[in-house]
Chains A and B, each alone.
Chain A
Amino acid sequence: MREVCVVGIGMSKWGEVWRRSLRQLFVDAAMEAIKDSGVDHLDSLYVGCMSSGMFVQQEHVGALCADYLGMAGLPAARVESACASGGIAVRQAFLEVASGASEIVMASGVEKMTDCSGDDATSALAGAADQEYEVFHGATFPGLYAMIAHAHMDRYGTTPEMLAAVSVKNHHNGAMNPVAQYPFEVSVDRVLGSVMVADPLHILDCSPITDGAAAVIVTSEEVARKLGKPYVKIIGSGLATDTIAIAQRDDITAIKSAGMALDRALKMTNRKLSDVQFAEMHDCFTIAEIVVMESIGLYKPGQAGPAVLAGETALDGKFPINSSGGLKSKGHPVGATGVAQVIEVFKQLTGRAEGGRQLPGSPKIGMTQNMGGTGASSAVHILEVA
């Protein structure tokens, strides 16, 4: 396989973007990525999108997006793996360029989540769980992660304060990110005092509902060099799955797919986890960040919560996590999230992170971890400065 690079990035406005439709959000992000990269054409397009059919009754999103980007005719397809759709769109672009089948591929993601009621959005998101054996019995997404959290607290002594510390850290970072949906600080007390959604998760332990799109241009190193702008290499890509229902897992306190995806991504590189300096992680709920930290081998089981409390994953910590604000503060337009994670790592590696959240010491290697449902799928990418 040949070297694969990211050469340009683009994001639409994120939040409750009532003035922009699904297609407009995509075009906003895509046009910005094309402009940022300087490419003069695309060879193909992947669009990560979880549930446009349920959110806005629109399927066939690959064709729709190519059409409204003014490129009808372009090979284009939608990629769906719940909240990991975006990460897998990046992976498909990576594989297509690595194989030599294409030179310039756009990996994008989009979700339009506020054109329907909160109830309908909840029900669309629940499609990432097991409909017949979880959702049928009244499970919601916060509820499923809450069950993971209770099991983790029972086994390892993880506390609500440790969960809240994830939210506090991510909001602190997000407050410096101009695209964040909720760019404000929260305190541990405020998190613990917010409405309980599903014990032990409060509303401020949960990522929000967001409209938004993100796009990156993925290309060969040859093209990247010719464009003459700073770029980063995707040195590893890993994807793994697990049982769809949490009851079927031997260990409810771990997310096995995250570790498997990381191992597969690392195997493509000559790097170890200890070479990776920072990460964007899928903090759909605060407990998710803690469990993923442990499941990828960054911390021993039970050690991630105390590490977050001790500031080890803060911007100035030894392994910063979610410098962008994460899903919690930046927002979580599900199909776009995995692509936006790559954008943050790109910004950090090229020194483009705004608002004072640029990591110290010019980091060279970062990773993204994006997951679907309760971790029934995980996509990991490892990126390195060129």
Chain B
Amino acid sequence: MAMFSSRNWREYPQRYRMEASRFKKSGKTYFPPRTVDPETGDTKQEMVRLPEIGKLLTYTVIRVAPSMWGDEGPYALGVAEMTDGTRVMAQITDCDVEKVKIGMEVRVEFRRIQSEGSAGVLSYGYKFVPKWF
């Protein structure tokens, strides 16, 4: 399917800068940003950027990957809890996939993610790398 670039650049604030929404009433931060706070129904919010450090809550190693990821497999993918408590899913890169562990500290880096759709729009965003790198 053709992928229009608007679908890509619309997400830049999240993919490039990890912009999240923090609601005034509850003080809760959501990533990706939401219009409505699920806890309070509040819509008053400010933009905050997520911290760049987190800890892996869970992960997997994708060994059978769709062909668009084929030349990158096996790749690790995980959910990290960032230092402010928000949770983010991203690939874990720059490390041996066999050494990825729950509880591992990760840092966010800006990387090429994929080329989307038949138009091959290059998409960039965040990936996790082990913190010791």
Measuring CB to CB, which residues of chain A are less than 8 angstroms from any residue of chain B? 119, 122-123, 126, 132-134, 136-140, 142-143, 146-148, 150-151, 154, 195-201, 203, 245-248, 252
CB distance from B13 to the nearest CB of A (A): 12
Task: Report B-chain residues with C-beta under 8 Å of the C-beta of A139.
Answer: 62, 77, 89
Distance between Cα atoms of A122 and B72 in the complex (Å): 17
CB contact between B62 and one of A132, A150, A198, A248 (< 8 Å): that residue: A198
Question: What residues on B are CB-neighbors of A140 within 8 Å?
Answer: 62, 64-66
> Are A151 and B89 CB-contacts (below 8 A) given A137-B77, A137-B113?
no
- Complex A-B: 9 CB contacts under 8 Å: A119-B67, A133-B89, A136-B113, A136-B123, A138-B114, A139-B89, A147-B58, A198-B60, A201-B60
Other 20 A-B pairs with CB < 8 A, given A133-B89, A150-B60? A119-B67, A126-B66, A136-B114, A137-B77, A137-B89, A138-B69, A138-B113, A139-B77, A140-B62, A146-B60, A147-B79, A150-B58, A150-B102, A154-B58, A154-B102, A196-B61, A198-B62, A199-B60, A201-B60, A247-B87
In contact, B60 and A246 (Cβ under 8 angstroms): no
Cross-chain contact B63 with A199 (CB below 8 angstroms)? yes
Which residues on A sit within 8 Å (CB–CB) of B75? 138
Give B contacts to A, CB under 8 Å: 11, 32, 57-67, 69, 72, 75, 77-79, 87-91, 102, 113-114, 123, 125
Write out the residue numbers on chain A whose beta carbons fall within 8 Å of the beta carbon of B87. Answer: 247-248
Judge whether A151 and B63 touch: CB under 8 Å. Answer: no
Question: How many angstroms between the C-alpha atoms of A249 and B98 in the bound complex?
Answer: 26
The CA of A252 and the CA of B58, in the complex, are separated in Å by 9
Q: Which of chain A's residues have a CB closer than 8 A to the CB of B78?
A: 147
Please give the distance in Å from B91's CB to the nearest CB on chain A. Answer: 6
Known contacts: A154-B58, A245-B89, A252-B79. The answer to whether A132 contacts B32 by CB under 8 A is yes
A195 touches B113 (CB 8 A): no
* Complexed CA–CA distance, A174 and B121 (Å): 45
Pick the contact of B64 from A197, A245, A247 — CB < 8 Å? A197
Q: Which residues on B sit within 8 Å (CB–CB) of A133?
A: 32, 89
CB neighbours of A247 from chain B (8 A): 79, 87-89
Which A-chain residue is minimally distant from B60 (CB atoms)? Answer: A146
Residues of B close to A203: CB separation below 8 A: 64
- Name which residue of chain A comes closest to B64, CB basis: A197
Chain A residues in 8 Å Cβ range of B66: 119, 122-123, 126, 140
Tell me the nearest residue of chain A to B69, going by C-beta.
Answer: A138
B57 with A134: CB separation less than 8 A: no
B32, B58, B77, B114, most chain A CB atoms within 10 A: B58
Q: Could you tell me the distance between the alpha carbons of A150 and B62 in the complex, rounded to whole angstroms?
A: 13
Tell me, in angstroms, the Cα distance from A123 to B90 when the chains sit together. 18
For B123, what are the chain A residues with a Cβ–Cβ distance below 8 Å? 136
Q: Known contacts A132-B11, A138-B91; is A197 also within 8 Å of B77 by CB?
A: no
Closest chain-B Cβ to A174's Cβ sits at a distance in Å of 23
Asked if B57 and A151 make an inter-chain contact with CB atoms under 8 angstroms apart, the answer reads yes
B64 contacts A147, CB within 8 Å? no
A179 to B113, CA, bound (A): 42
Give the CA-CA distance A196 to B64 in the complex, in Å. 8
Whole-angstrom distance from the CB of B102 to the nearest CB of chain A? Answer: 5
Q: How distant is the Cα of A147 from the Cα of B57 in the complex, in angstroms? A: 9
Contacts of B62 in A (CB 8 A): 138-140, 142-143, 197-198
Identity of the chain B residue whose Cβ is nearest the Cβ of A203 in the assembled complex: B64
Given contacts A138-B62, A247-B87, A252-B58, contact A151 B102 (CB under 8 A): yes
* Given A133-B89, A137-B77, A247-B89, A143:B58 Cβ within 8 A: no
Minimum CB–CB distance from B125 to chain A (whole Å) comes to 7
| B residues less than 8 Å from A138 (CB atoms) | 62, 65, 69, 72, 75, 77, 91, 113-114
